[in-house]
């Protein structure tokens, strides 16, 4: 079956960040809206509509100010949906989102099958798989984890029922990520000296508990893996008053030359510093 066009949108100036391109939280907002339209257009009864437990995103090409976008959506099996986000002028694929639903109701499963297709290679996970992440016994205190942000969930970040939008979680994640990168030595001064930016190329959000309007939340970060040009790190979103983990983000990021708009290999000293942080997790388990 042909995909359903589920969204048309536009990149505004105020949605772009210090790298002069669309901030990741607004990609997720496009995907959230496309997912809602998909369930309505696919005929999912209102009582059977759900938010996914996991959103896995790959970023394929930058979106700059004034870009028009459209999203095509379809099911994969009876528990997943895929959203393909294209820039409208040249048809370039900009990002993909693979959603996984936890025990979806019958009406949602039927719609996913009815409007289903094969998972395209462009949406397949690479550095971060699509399976849910569990906080485990470590909870809010994973080995090697450290505080990178403290904030509060505000009304403008929430759905009508008071639960926080995934796009708002991604926005909080971006703020915490800036502090995570500082620990690797890839800080603001180093970036400005080299005319580089920090960008995400793949990420996965697993919702592990409620996060609602008014909740105090803090973020615990740690590096997970490092390659020639990328660092994968984890951010745990913790409800400060209870210590419960509400969400876990896995992000693969890299540094980008802001003139050529291409990835830059990580310097050896930054790699060594990050490798030491990863090694310390095994040396000092919680």
Quote the CA–CA distance of 235 and 222 in Å, as a whole number: 7
Is 88 in a helix, a strand, or coil?
Answer: coil
Give the model's confidence band at 155: pLDDT under 50 very low, under 70 low, under 90 confident, else very high: very high
Helices and strands in the chain: count of H runs, count of E runs: 5, 11
Please report, rounded to a whole number, the percentage of residues in the chain having pLDDT higher than 70: 98
- pLDDT at residue 2, as a whole number: 78
- pLDDT at residue 284, as a whole number: 64
Residue 283 has pLDDT above 80, yes or no: no
Element (H or E) spanning 183, and its range?
A: helix 166-183
Average pLDDT, integer, range 260-266: 95
Residue 285 has pLDDT above 90, yes or no: no
Quote the CA–CA distance of 203 and 222 in Å, as a whole number: 15
Average pLDDT, integer, range 6-17: 97
Token readout for 13 is 């100036």
Token readout for 221 is 């970060």
Give the model's confidence band at 1: pLDDT under 50 very low, under 70 low, under 90 confident, else very high: low
CATH code of the domain in which 113 resides: 3.10.129.10
- pLDDT at residue 6, as a whole number: 98
- pLDDT at residue 215, as a whole number: 98
Please count the other Cβ atoms lying within 10 Å of the Cβ belonging to residue 118.
Answer: 9
Task: Check whether residue 132 and residue 111 sit in a common domain.
Answer: no
Give the model's confidence band at 286: pLDDT under 50 very low, under 70 low, under 90 confident, else very high: low
Task: Check whether residue 120 and residue 130 sit in a common domain.
Answer: no
| 84-140 confidence digits (pLDDT tens) | 999 999 999 999 999 999 999 999 999 999 999 999 999 999 999 999 999 998 999
| 45-72 confidence digits (pLDDT tens) | 999 999 999 999 999 999 999 999 999 9
Task: Check whether residue 66 and residue 160 sit in a common domain.
Answer: no
Task: Check whether residue 135 and residue 86 sit in a common domain.
Answer: no
In this structure, what is the dihedral angle of CA atoms 222, 226, 229, 235, given to the nearest 10 degrees? -20
Quote the CA–CA distance of 226 and 274 in Å, as a whole number: 7
Place of tokens 């979806």: 104
Place of tokens 């615990």: 220
Last residue of a domain, one of 91, 124, 157: 124
Task: Check whether residue 111 and residue 196 sit in a common domain.
Answer: no
Average pLDDT, integer, range 27-52: 97
Supply the angle between the helices 166-183 and 24-41 in degrees, to the nearest 10: 150
Average pLDDT, integer, range 177-183: 95
Report the domain count for the chain. Answer: 2
Element (H or E) spanning 53, and its range?
A: none
Sequence-distant (6+) residues with CB within 8 A of 173 are 203, 219, 235, 237, 249, 251
Quote the CA–CA distance of 260 and 176 in Å, as a whole number: 27
Task: Check whether residue 116 and residue 148 sit in a common domain.
Answer: no
> What is the C-alpha end-to-end distance of the chain, expressed in Å?
49
Last residue of a domain, one of 72, 92, 124: 124
Last residue of a domain, one of 80, 98, 124: 124
Quote the CA–CA distance of 33 and 8 in Å, as a whole number: 10
Task: Check whether residue 141 and residue 276 sit in a common domain.
Answer: yes
Task: Check whether residue 111 and residue 201 sit in a common domain.
Answer: no
- Domain of 272? 126-286
Task: Check whether residue 87 and residue 154 sit in a common domain.
Answer: no
Task: Check whether residue 119 and residue 132 sit in a common domain.
Answer: no
Task: Check whether residue 10 and residue 107 sit in a common domain.
Answer: yes
Average pLDDT, integer, range 73-91: 97
| 200-218 confidence digits (pLDDT tens) | 999 999 999 999 999 999 9
Please count the other Cβ atoms lying within 10 Å of the Cβ belonging to residue 248.
Answer: 21
- pLDDT at residue 282, as a whole number: 79
Please count the other Cβ atoms lying within 10 Å of the Cβ belonging to residue 284.
Answer: 9
Quote the CA–CA distance of 59 and 166 in Å, as a whole number: 17
Quote the CA–CA distance of 7 and 37 in Å, as a whole number: 7
Task: Check whether residue 148 and residue 208 sit in a common domain.
Answer: yes
């Amino acid at each position: 079956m042909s995909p359903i066009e589920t969204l048309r949108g536009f990149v505004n100036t105020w949605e772009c960040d210090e790298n002069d391109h669309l901030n990741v939280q607004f990609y997720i907002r496009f995907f959230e809206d496309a997912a809602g339209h998909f369930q309505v257009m696919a005929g999912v009864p209102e009582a059977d509509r759900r938010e996914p437990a996991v959103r896995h995103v790959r970023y394929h090409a930058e979106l700059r100010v004034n870009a028009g976008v459209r999203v095509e959506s379809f099911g994969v099996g009876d528990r997943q949906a895929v959203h393909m986000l294209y820039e409208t002028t040249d048809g370039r694929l900009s990002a993909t989102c693979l959603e996984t639903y936890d025990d979806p109701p019958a009406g949602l499963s039927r719609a996913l099958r009815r409007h289903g297709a094969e998972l395209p290679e462009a949406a397949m996970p690479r550095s971060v798989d699509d399976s849910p992440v569990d906080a485990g016994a470590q909870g809010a205190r994973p080995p090697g984890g450290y505080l990178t942000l403290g904030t509060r969930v505000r009304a403008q970040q929430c759905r009508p029922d008071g639960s926080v939008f995934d796009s708002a979680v991604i926005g909080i994640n971006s703020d915490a990520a800036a502090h995570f990168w500082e620990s690797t030595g890839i800080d603001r001064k180093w970036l400005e000296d080299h005319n580089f930016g920090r960008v995400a190329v793949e990420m996965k959000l697993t919702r592990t508990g409620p996060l609602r309007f008014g909740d105090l939340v803090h973020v615990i970060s740690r590096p997970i893996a490092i390659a020639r040009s990328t660092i994968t790190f984890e951010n745990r979103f913790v409800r400060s008053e209870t210590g419960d983990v509400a969400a876990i983000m896995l992000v693969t990021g890299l540094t980008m030359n802001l003139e050529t708009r291409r990835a830059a290999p990580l310097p050896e000293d930054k790699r060594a510093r990050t490798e030491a942080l990863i090694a310390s997790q095994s040396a000092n388990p919680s």
